[in-house]
Amino acid sequence: MIELKHLSFSYDDKHQILDDISLKIGADSHKVIGIMGHNGAGKSTLFLNLVGELKPTGGEILVDGQPVEYSKKGLRALRRKIGIVFQNSDQQIFYSIVKDDVAFALHNLKVPADEIQAKVERVLKELDILPLKDRPIQYLSGGQKKRVAIAGIMVIGSEWILLDEPTSGLDPDGRLRMKMLIQKLVANGQHIILSSHDMDFMYEVCDYLYLLGDGKILAQGGKREVFNDEQLLKENKLEQPWLVKIHQKLGLPLYDSEQELFANEGRKHN
């Protein structure tokens, strides 16, 4: 569990990017936690605080009940527990061949060579990119690079994985794969925190959500509650997922996914 106690952060002491945030992430066996908010709401700053890249200017972060230590050793321990995948894949792939890059973190952890190879192959297989193993990075598509970047963090086997805008720049197929990947990570026992502007994606994937605006948590709850307030979402430059819209505007039942909608509604029409 990750607990934030009166967490504040600012770059310049004048403007609080994160303003006295207190919350317990993963308290009630939530597996996929979504952080919503408009551009500049502080989502990325929050993520960087969670992995110790930025040090809170007020309050503290506790992981499994222990306050984060900002020593070299403490941060290393933190990052074994919480991995992060950034938005731009090119900024986090350092090797020119897929398998070398995925193995990087394992080398840093001094894992024996034969074990590294087995782990890398397993992760690549899980992400459906095993055939890309020996390919040079520069000839991969954006979606493939994104999966390589995720593989590079997945191999660490951390309990938490933070995904910053995981669907940005992906085609519908990539988006679908990302959804399945998140489900796979959850099945592996890993927990996900993700930020996105893709409300439909958030609705289908997350089981608990936070709405971040002006550095504060404006709303939190399960997806059925959080997406209910159209006005609040609009004020935060967001919108309701289409499944919620057709529920509210057309009076259809509130479905959890597109498949469920078509399965049920289709039956009525046949």
Interacting residue with other proteins among 41, 103, 120, 218 (CB under 8 A)? 103
The minimum distance between CB 61 and other proteins, in angstroms, equals 16
Q: Is 111 in the site for other proteins (CB under 8 A)?
A: no
The minimum distance between CB 249 and other proteins, in angstroms, equals 41
Beta bridge partners of 216: 213
The minimum distance between CB 88 and other proteins, in angstroms, equals 7
Q: How far is residue 41 from each of residues 23, 210, 223, measured CA to CA in Å?
A: 17, 12, 20
Choose the binding region for other proteins from 60-68, 85-93, 223-231, 235-243 (rule: CB under 8 A). Answer: 85-93
CB 215 within 8 A of CB 16: yes
Compare residues 66 and 96 and give the one whose CB is closer to other proteins.
Answer: 96
Unique residue bearing structure tokens 């503290």: 60
CA 262 to chain centroid, in Å, comes to: 28
- 13-16 — which CB contacts under 8 Å span 24+ positions? 13/57, 16/215
Q: Is 243 in the site for other proteins (CB under 8 A)?
A: no
Q: Is 81 in the site for other proteins (CB under 8 A)?
A: no
Total residues contacting other proteins by CB under 8 A comes to 35
Compare residues 111 and 232 and give the one whose CB is closer to other proteins.
Answer: 111
Q: Is 105 in the site for other proteins (CB under 8 A)?
A: yes
Q: Is 107 in the site for other proteins (CB under 8 A)?
A: yes
Q: Is 163 in the site for other proteins (CB under 8 A)?
A: no
CB 45 within 8 A of CB 54: yes
* CA neighbor of 161 nearest in space, from 222, 105, 101, 212: 105
In the chain, the amino acid numbered 224 is R
Q: Is 91 in the site for other proteins (CB under 8 A)?
A: yes
Q: Is 79 in the site for other proteins (CB under 8 A)?
A: yes
Binding mask 112-131 for other proteins (x = CB under 8 A): --------------------
**Strand stretches in 176-245, DSSP E:** 191-195, 208-213, 216-221
User: Could you give the CA distance from residue 192 to residue 209 in angstroms, rounded to a whole number?
Assistant: 12
User: Could you give the CA distance from residue 36 to residue 42 in angstroms, rounded to a whole number?
Assistant: 10
Q: Is 159 in the site for other proteins (CB under 8 A)?
A: no
Extract the tokens encoding 120.
């890398």
Q: Is 133 in the site for other proteins (CB under 8 A)?
A: no
Choose the binding region for other proteins from 59-67, 75-83, 206-214, 218-226 (rule: CB under 8 A). Answer: 75-83
For residue 50, the tally of other CB atoms under 10 A from its CB is: 22
User: Could you give the CA distance from residue 161 to residue 83 in angstroms, rounded to a whole number?
Assistant: 5
- Under the rule (CB under 8 A), what is the footprint of other proteins? 48, 51, 53, 75-76, 79-80, 83-86, 88, 90-97, 100, 103-105, 107-109, 134, 136-139, 152-153, 156
